Amino acid sequence: MSFDRSIKIAPSILSADFADFGREIQAIEAQGADWVHVDVMDGHFVPNLTFGPPAVAAFRKHVKTVMDVHLMISPVDAYIDAYAQAGADVLTAHVEAGPHIHRTMQAIRAAGMKAGVAVNPGTPIEAIEHILDITDLVCIMTVNPGFGGQKYIDMTAKVRKLRALIGDRPVHIEIDGGMDPTTAPLMAAAGADVFVAGSAVFKGGSVSTPEVYGKNIAAIRAAAQAAL
């Protein structure tokens, strides 16, 4: 199958109802989500705590699309197998999380997952230039990780540079933080194909009014596609 560069929307369940994850995941998928983004935080690499492997394994039972797991933890390597067992399709580690990102990417692929690397706003894109041959996805952070609902930090120049570094390699460019119908087109024009959105997808809706999620997802997708 050829590499899919089309626009994909990945709602972050960090903005879902934490007492109702199963139905929230079903609702966003029924309303057009392409991937489901799961934010794992350790209270050390970022100042917030979220989901361990048993929680992620419970989400997996409801995810029919792609489970995209974003690790905001340090160290990473000791947990790779646990998140593989939990059913992650894509596992993303931060380049800032330790000194051996090359080893981490190899270990993620060896555990049978797609390997992603995330890059904080303050980190130059050259930090990941030499691992692109063993990378399936680069996640460009457009907020400082740790919380949903933060203000978008413009990383257009970084994404353009990354697009050029990737060349024709089959590597996804994912954007995470502050994505909405105003900001997503800037990133689409710069070369991104996966758009994580938490607050902009879940705002105004609920499992009893899932059509709001559908409208929100469609609005981000349409704005991003219009920029291509």
Tokens for 189, please give them. 């024009």
**Residue count at the site for ligand DX5 (CB under 6 A)?**
22
186 contributes a contact to ligand DX5 by CB under 6 A: no
Known binding residue 198? Answer is: yes
Contact between residue 8 and residue 194 where contact means Cβ atoms under 8 Å apart: yes
Told to judge if 176 belongs to the known catalytic residues of this protein, a careful annotator would answer yes
Check whether 39 is labelled as a binding-site residue.
yes
| Crossing angle between the packed helical segments 211-226 and 21-30, to the nearest 10 degrees | 50
Residue 39 engages Zn ion in binding (rule: CB under 5 A): yes
Query: From CA 195, how far away is CA 115, in angstroms rounded?
Result: 17
**What is the Cα–Cα distance from 66 to 75, expressed in whole angstroms?**
24
| Residue 172 labelled as part of a binding site | no
- Rounded CA-CA distance 150/127 in Å is 24
CA nearest neighbour of 184 among 168, 201, 167, 171: 201
Per-residue interface string for the shown chain with ligand DX5, residues 39-58, x marking contact by CB under 6 A: x-------------------
Instruction: Report how far apart, in Å, the C-alpha atoms of 118 and of each of 82, 107, 129, 177 are.
Output: 19, 16, 12, 12
Determine whether the annotation assigns residue 2 to a binding site.
no
Q: Is 177 annotated as a binding residue?
A: yes
Using the contact rule CB under 6 A, the part of the chain among 101-109, 142-150, 167-175, 207-215 near ligand DX5 is 142-150
- Under the criterion CB under 6 A, does residue 24 sit at the interface with ligand DX5? no
d(CA 158, CA 121): 9
Q: Is 218 helix (H, G, I), strand (E, B) or coil?
A: helix
Please identify, using beta-carbon distances, which residue of 84 and 175 lies nearer to ligand DX5: 175
Among 24, 42, 176, 180, binds Zn ion (CB under 5 A): 176
- Helix then strand count (H, E) for the chain reads 8, 8
Q: Residue 177 interacts with ligand DX5 (CB under 6 A)? A: yes
177 binding partner (options Zn ion, ligand DX5, none; Cβ < 5 to 8 Å by kind): ligand DX5
Pick 31 or 50: Cβ nearer Zn ion: 50
- Residue 146 token pair: 């740790």
Gap between the Cα atoms of 42 and 117, Å rounded: 17
43 annotated binding-site participant: no
**39 noted as active-site residue:** yes
Of 42, 68, 136, 176, the active-site residue reads: 176
Q: Give me the active site residues, please.
A: 39, 176
Query: Binding-site residues, please?
Result: 12, 37, 39, 70, 146-149, 176-178, 198-199
Binding site for ligand DX5 (CB under 6 A): 12, 14-15, 37, 39, 70, 143, 145-150, 176-179, 196-200
Q: Which residues bind Zn ion (CB under 5 A)?
A: 39, 70, 176
